[in-house]
Chains A and B, each alone.
Chain A
Amino acid sequence: MAKHHITATLNGEPVEFLCSTRQTLLDVLRDELNMTGSKEGCASGDCGACSVMVDDRLVCSCLVLGAECDNKKIESIEGMADGEKLHPLQTKFLEEAALQCGICTPGVLVAAKALLERNNNPTETEVRYWLAGNLCRCTGYDKIVRAVMNTAADMRENAK
């Protein structure tokens, strides 16, 4: 069958791509659009390394078909920094070494940003539950959770 011709926005820019029905949004991002920031850890919704926003909802891009994305608003890790200026979460993750190998990091950052946009004062429990679908084999999570909490505190302070 002919490929699907999809028009969408990615990080605010219009994009067009062709995909077959079997290709997930993650496949499209990585293989068609050369946006390799989103990672494939499991391809089954378990690890969260492929987390992106679709129409303002946090989802696993490995569980969305590319063909579903016509006219959708997609946001990936590549859109998180403003040019050279890192997002406060990115800066904090670097400062506090909240990553080791970095495979989980793009997904964790996208998910954490979605949390802080809803709730700028999450409890530790809320952070841990929100990020329960983001697996990390390196850090033991503690540094990730602390970096998210500390970013939230900074953002509250700066908003004053």
Chain B
Amino acid sequence: MESIEFEKPETVDQAVALLQGASGNAKILAGGTDLLVQLRAQMLEPSVIIDIKHIEETRKLTKNSDGSYTIGAAVAGAEAGDRDDITKDWPGVIEGWELIGSTQVQGRASLGGNLCNASPAGDSVPAMVAAGMTVNIAGPNGRRTIPVEDVTVAPGRTCLEKGEFVVSFNLPARPAGGGDAYLRLIPRTEMDIAVVGCGVAITLDDAGVVKTAKISLGAVAATVLVVEDAAKAIIGTKLDADAMSALDAACQAACKPIDDKRGTIEYRTKIAGVLARRAVTIAAERAGEK
């Protein structure tokens, strides 16, 4: 086994220069809960590991004056879960993030790592997508900001170019009448990989009619899905039985899952509809709470 260099840049520019200048495979290290497992299993042979946690921007979780949040790419789930503001404003985003692993894994697991590991079953991703979150990417050509759903292009592959990494995420202010939720199904009660995950963010008007909706499914296709037909099925309704059936059907229609020991195609598809109904119900309850 070759030895691996280890770098801990303190600025974004230094990190980009290291990524760009690396001969061989450079790997970013955030919480290491995927990277170290892969290293140990010899799935990776990086020439250099670049620890981004000394870059202040990656480590800060800030509520901005307009009510939006900037979340550093390397902030750990446990740190976010300890914050009353974001937990109250976006419970679904926090639910997805906090479902990642055990208490110990939470001490390290970041949104940047969960997204860039690019598993179709990453638990934080559907809720981030539903909430309309975007990613701030830095690279040799400067910065760009793109929606979370555009980052993963295939299992294990992101759209990041050589020299690029995720610095932080933007989470909008919680809208008036807004609520969100994330649910996943796993065969156990803790510590397992999602068979299906569903993130929902909606807004209701004063009469309880759905004004906006974004619905996202994880683990039922090669990448996390945005199900526009599911959103259409409930916008303009009061979430009556017909709207919920249409939502369920749209989610099932969007699934292109794999068949494995943890869930057959038929099962995953059916569950996608069930979780969407339940997550929408929870999001609507939260939207009603002032």
Q: Which residues of A contact B (CB under 8 A)?
A: 1, 4, 20-22, 24, 43-46, 48, 51, 54, 57-60, 62-65, 67-68, 111, 114-115, 129-134
Evaluate contact between A48 and B104: CB separation under 8 angstroms: yes
Q: In this assembly, does B108 line the interface, its C-beta being within 8 Å of a C-beta of chain A?
A: yes
B190/A64 in contact, CB under 8 A: no
Ranked 5 nearest A-B pairs via Cβ: A133-B102, A132-B190, A57-B107, A21-B4, A59-B107
Contact residues of A: prevailing secondary structure: mixed
Whether A68 and B104, one on each chain, are in contact in the complex, defined by CB atoms closer than 8 angstroms, is: no
Report the tally of A-B residue pairs with Cβ distances under 8 A.
91
A58 near B104 (CB under 8 angstroms)? yes
Interface size on B, residues (CB 8 A): 30
Given A111-B103, A133-B102: A64 in contact with B40 (beta carbons within 8 A): no
Q: Contact: B32 with A64, CB < 8 Å?
A: yes
* Interface residues, chain B, with chain A CB atoms under 8 Å away: 1, 3-6, 8, 29, 31-33, 36-37, 39-41, 49, 51, 53, 76, 78, 101-105, 107-108, 189-191
Known A45-B105, A57-B107, A58-B103; contact A63-B37, beta-carbon cutoff 8 A: yes
Please, which residue of chain B has its CB at the minimum distance from the CB of A132? B190
> Known: A67-B6, A129-B190, A132-B191. Is A24-B36 also a contact (CB below 8 A)?
yes
User: With A and B bound together, what is the CA distance between A133 and B189 in angstroms?
Assistant: 12
Q: Are A130 and B103 in contact, with the CB atoms below 8 A?
A: yes
> Given the interface contacts A21-B49, A64-B32, A132-B190, does A51 sit within 8 Å of B39 by beta carbon?
no
26 A-B interface contacts by CB (under 8 A): A4-B6, A21-B49, A22-B1, A22-B3, A22-B39, A44-B41, A45-B37, A45-B101, A48-B104, A54-B107, A57-B78, A57-B107, A59-B108, A63-B33, A63-B105, A64-B32, A65-B49, A68-B8, A68-B51, A68-B53, A111-B103, A129-B190, A132-B103, A133-B101, A133-B105, A133-B190
Write out the residue numbers on chain A whose beta carbons fall within 8 Å of the beta carbon of B31: 63
- In the assembled complex, the Cα of A114 lies from the Cα of B78 at a distance in Å of 13
**Which of A57, A60, A132, A133 makes the CB contact (< 8 A) with B76?**
A57
- State A51–B101 Cα separation when bound (angstroms): 14
Given contacts A65-B29, A129-B190, contact A60 B105 (CB under 8 A): yes
A51 to B, closest residue via Cβ? B104
Q: Tell me if B6 and A59 are in contact (CB < 8 A).
A: no
Nearest-neighbour CB distance to chain B for A18, whole angstroms, equals: 13
